[in-house]
Structure 1
Amino acid sequence: MFGTVSEEMEVKVSATEAWKLYGTLQLAKLIEEELTDVIHKLEIHGDGGVGTILNITFPPGTPFFSSYKEKFTKMDHEKRVKEAEVIEGGYLDLGFTLYRGRFEVIEKSENTCITKTTIEYEIKEEAAANASIVSIQPMVKIMEVAANYFIKNKK
Structure 2
Amino acid sequence: MGITTFTEEISGPISLARIFKAGVLDAHNLLPKLLPDKIKSIEVQGDGGPGSIEQINLAEGSPFKCIKHRIEELDKENFMCKHTLIEGGVIGDKIIKVVETFKFEASPNGGSICKITSEFHTVDDCEVKEEEIKISKDMAIRVSKVVEAYLLENPNAYA
CA distance in 2, matches of 1:100, 1:142: 18
Deviation digits for residues 32-73 of structure 1 (CA, Å, limit 9, x no counterpart): 11112222332222232112211123234433x432211111
Tell which deviates more after alignment, 145-154 or 52-61: 52-61
Over residues 99-150 of structure 1, what are the superposed CA-to-partner deviations in whole Å (9 max), with x where a residue is unaligned?
Answer: 1222221112372211233322111147536564232101111111221122
Q: How far apart, in 2, do the equivalents of 1:81 and 1:48 lie?
A: 14
Q: Cα RMSD over matched residues?
A: 2.5
The CA distance in 2 between the partners of 1:33 and 1:99, in whole Å, is 25
Q: Which residue of 2 aligns with 1:87?
A: 86
Q: Are the equivalent residues in 2 in contact too, given 1:66–1:90 (CA < 8 A)? A: no
CA distance 1:111–1:97, change in 2 (3 Å)? same
Whole-angstrom CA distance in 1 between matches of 2:88 and 2:112: 34
Q: Is the 8 A contact 1:44 1:54 kept in 2?
A: yes
Gaps of 5+ in 2: none
Q: Is the 8 A contact 1:117 1:140 kept in 2?
A: no
5+ long unaligned stretches in structure 1: none
Partner of 1:16: 17
> How many residue pairs end up in the alignment?
153
Matches within 5 A, 1:35-54: 35-54=35-54
**Which residue in 2 is equivalent to 1:33?**
33
The alpha carbon displacement at 1:23 in A equals 4.2
CA spacing shift, 1:60–1:104, aligned 2, 3 Å: same
Q: CA deviation at 1:3?
A: 1.7
Partner Cα separation in structure 1 for residue 15 and residue 92 of structure 2:
39
| Structure 2 Cα separation of the partners of residues 14 and 59 of structure 1 | 30
Moved over 6 A (4+): none
Identify the residue that residue 67 of structure 1 maps to in structure 2: 66
Tell me: CA distance 1:13–1:121, structure 2 relative to 1, closer, same or farther (3 Å).
same
Identical amino acids, percent of aligned pairs = 23
8 Å Cα contact 1:123/1:131 also seen in 2: no
